[in-house]
Amino acid sequence: MFNIAQEILKGNPRAIAKGISLIENKHPDAQKILKDIFSHTGKSIIIGVTGSPGSGKSTLVDQIIGSFKKKGKNIGIIAVDPSSPFSGGAILGDRIRMMRHSTDSNVFIRSMATRGHLGGLARASGEAISILEASGKDVIIVETVGVGQDEVEVVRLADIVLVVLIAGVGDDIQAFKAGIMEIADIFVLNKADSPESDRTESQIKAMLDLGLSKEKIPPVVKTVATKGEGIDSLIEEIEILSYTQDQKARATRKRKLLSWILKDIIAEKIHQVISEHIQSEEFESFIDRIYKKEIDPYTLAHEIVDRIKKDSDI
Ligand SMILES: Nc1nc2c(ncn2[C@@H]2O[C@H](COP(=O)(O)OP(=O)(O)O)[C@@H](O)[C@H]2O)c(=O)[nH]1
Ligand SMILES: [Mg+2]
Average per-residue pLDDT for the chain: 83
Question: Which tens digits make up the pLDDT trace of 213-259?
Answer: 556 788 999 999 999 999 999 999 999 998 887 778 778 877 877 78
Identify whether the C-beta of residue 52 lies closer than 8 Å to the C-beta of residue 146: yes
Bridge partners (DSSP) of residue 141 are: 47, 77
Cα of 186 vs centre of ligand 1, distance in Å, is 18
Q: CB atoms < 10 A from the CB of 177, how many?
A: 11
Report the residue count for the chain.
Answer: 314
Per-residue pLDDT band for 30 (boundaries 50, 70, 90) equals very high
- Helix segments in 178-246, DSSP class H: 197-207, 231-244
Cα of 114 vs centre of ligand 2, distance in Å, is 15
d(CA 51, CA 175): 7
Number of the ligand closest to the Cα of 189: 1
State how far Cα 204 lies from the chain centre: 25
Number of the ligand closest to the Cα of 57: 1
| Residue-range domain boundaries for the chain | 41-245, 261-312
**Answer CATH for 41-245 from 3.30.2320.50, 3.90.190.10, 3.40.1440.60, 3.40.50.300:** 3.40.50.300
Number of the ligand closest to the Cα of 62: 1
Question: Which tens digits make up the pLDDT trace of 40-82?
Answer: 988 899 999 988 888 899 899 999 999 999 999 999 999 886 5
Per-residue pLDDT band for 93 (boundaries 50, 70, 90) equals low
* Region 167-189 average pLDDT: 69
Which position has the higher pLDDT, 183 or 172? 183
Strands 75-81 and 45-51: unpaired
pLDDT over threshold 60, residue 96 = no
Strands 186-190 and 160-166: parallel
Pick the residue whose CA is nearest to atom 9 on ligand 1. Answer: 56
pLDDT over threshold 60, residue 17 = yes
State how far Cα 50 lies from the chain centre: 10
Q: Which residues sit with their C-beta closer than 6 Å to ligand 1?
A: 51, 53-59, 93, 97, 190-191, 193, 224-226
Question: Which tens digits make up the pLDDT trace of 268-305?
Answer: 888 888 888 888 899 999 999 999 999 999 999 999 98
Mutate to test the pocket of ligand 1, among 50, 55, 58, 59 (most ligand atoms within 8 A of CB): 59
pTM of the predicted structure, to 2 decimals: 0.83
Cα of 191 vs centre of ligand 1, distance in Å, is 7
End-to-end CA distance of the chain: 36
Cα of 119 vs centre of ligand 1, distance in Å, is 28
Cα of 174 vs centre of ligand 2, distance in Å, is 17
Pick the residue whose CA is nearest to atom 19 on ligand 1. Answer: 54
